[in-house]
Amino acid sequence: MNTNILQDKVVVVTGAASGIGKAVAVQAAKHGAKAVIVSDVTPEPREGGRTTMEEIEELGVPARFHRADVSQRAQVDDLLRAADEFGGVDVMVANAGITLHADGFDVAEADYRRLMGINLDGTLFSAQAAARSMKARGKAGSIVLMASMGGISGAGMTVAYSTSKGGVVLMAKSLADALGPDGIRVNAVAPGTIDTHLLRTSPGIAEAAEGFRPRTPLRRLGKPSEIGDAVAWLGSDLSSYVTGTALLVDGGLLAVI
């Protein structure tokens, strides 16, 4: 469904070449964004097919691709400058995130630090850079952080991942308090099992997701566009009194025992 809820909003999305980030960027265009800044370490979708830029340009919405590794603070700061030509960022979506091949109790130190560098540090750097830009322009912006249901409930096979995503949930709450007086809202979205390359290629997680299916009230995996729609709502003025929350978009999975 196309709407105008993001009319006049400049949207920046990290990890936007693939999966959920791609859907967030494309849905932002479908919901009437003024411009979309697509950022990733590569423009190529991990799942193959058309690039995010191609899909957005087809919708007639101005878009720019900006290469940035979110674990590198200077690159994230530079990314926010890509929104300047459109008047600065209104909606920042810190989506980039990874899983590990081996993420049990004895997760390797190098893997743990790499994951935290992207999932936690990168998310904070993205929010900080966006908040600085919004404050400088006096914008009542919206910052959306990509958490996970794995950041609300734990799992023995995703120790570092769940720890990082639990941190993202508290990051949203803390930043909501820090930035609320400036009119800037900060929320997290916690997807359940969403059918992406990350889900299909994460050992153990793909099987677990299939196991979740019969226990999920809606009896199916989620579509990336369904996360894109939730993010669009949080980015829009329709959620103007919503801040510091973690919105579960999980087909009801965590609602039941």
Residue 46 near ligand NAD by CB under 6 A = yes
Q: Can residue 187 be called a binding residue for ligand NAD (CB under 6 A)? A: no
* Binders in 198-227 for ligand NAD, by CB under 6 A: 198-199
CA dist 30 and 59 (Å) reads: 7
Give the whole-angstrom CA distance, residue 53 versus residue 59: 10
Does the annotation mark 241 as catalytic? no
| 83 binds ligand NAD, rule: CB under 6 A | no
Cα dist from 47 to 43, 50, 51, 67, whole Å:
12, 10, 10, 18
Catalytic annotation present for 34: no
Selecting among 18, 39, 126, 148, the annotated active-site residue is: 148
Of the pair 139, 157, the CB lying nearest ligand NAD is at 157
What is the SS3 assignment for 25?
helix
**Minimum separation from the CB atom of position 41 to ligand NAD (A):** 5
**Pick the catalytic residue: 165, 202, 225, 236?**
165
Q: How far is the CB of 196 from ligand NAD (least distance, A)?
A: 3
Among 6, 9, 11, 21, binds ligand NAD (CB under 6 A): 21
Residues 33 and 62: their CA atoms lie apart, in Å, by: 9
3-state SS, residue 151: helix
CA 49 to chain centre: 21
Binding residue (CB under 6 A) for ligand NAD from 13, 25, 56, 95: 95
Measured in residues, the chain has a length of 257
Dihedral through CA 156, CA 157, CA 160, CA 161, nearest 10? -110
**Cβ partners under 8 Å of residue 59, min gap 6:** 26, 29, 30
Backbone phi, then psi, for 61, in 5-degree steps? -100, 130
Which of 5, 33, 66, 69 touches ligand NAD (CB under 6 A)? 69
Is the CB of 202 or the CB of 239 nearer to ligand NAD? Answer: 202
Kindly determine how many residues on this chain lie close enough to bind ligand NAD according to the rule CB under 6 A.
29
Q: Does the annotation count 161 as an active-site position?
A: yes
- Give the span between the Cα atoms of 109 and 97, in whole angstroms: 18
Stretch 131-170: interaction string toward ligand NAD, x if CB under 6 A: ---------------x-x----------------------
Q: Where in the sequence numbering do the catalytic residues fall?
A: 148, 161, 165
Chain contacts with ligand NAD (rule: CB under 6 A): 14-15, 17-21, 40-42, 46, 69-71, 95-98, 118, 122, 146, 148, 191, 193-194, 196-199
